[in-house]
Amino acid sequence: GGTLAANPLTCAAAYWAIKFIEKTNATEKAGKAGDRLVKGLNELFQKYNLPWICYNFNATIHVHTSCVQGLDLNIPSHIGQISERKEFMEHFGAALVNEEIISVAGSRFYTCMQHTNEIVDETVAKIENICKMIE
């Protein structure tokens, strides 16, 4: 089993996909788009004084708005915050969709080599619309 379990067709497809990635510098381009998006979003969060943070690992971008994963469940007052913070994440995800931005669970984005500076800047502008609603 597995995706590349020595099936000749999938092995050939994987080989040519890797060759294409190397030839086009796809991962480097995607990483630069991710860096630009993170920089733009963190500047927005500071501008609107929002306690949010954005970081990336190359082309994988994480946006933390409610910090539900940062709650210490050993502190009783934190337990009551779980549903409220989760609900905020759902509203943020819906606001992203309203701005025509598709995310993973309202907290992750992926960039690729086709994300130009213009596309990234447009995304930042759309997320600024959300920040303005929260302010």
pLDDT digits (tens), the chain, 135 positions: 566 677 788 889 889 999 999 999 999 999 999 999 999 999 999 999 999 999 999 999 999 988 877 788 898 888 888 888 888 888 999 999 999 999 998 889 999 999 999 999 999 999 999 999 986
Task: Tell me whether residue 104 is in a domain.
Answer: yes
d(CA 135, CA 67) in angstroms, rounded, equals 18
Task: Tell me whether residue 12 is in a domain.
Answer: no
Count of helix runs (H) and strand runs (E) in the chain = 5, 3
d(CA 120, CA 40) in angstroms, rounded, equals 9
The domain of 121 spans 25-134
Q: Domain total for the chain?
A: 1
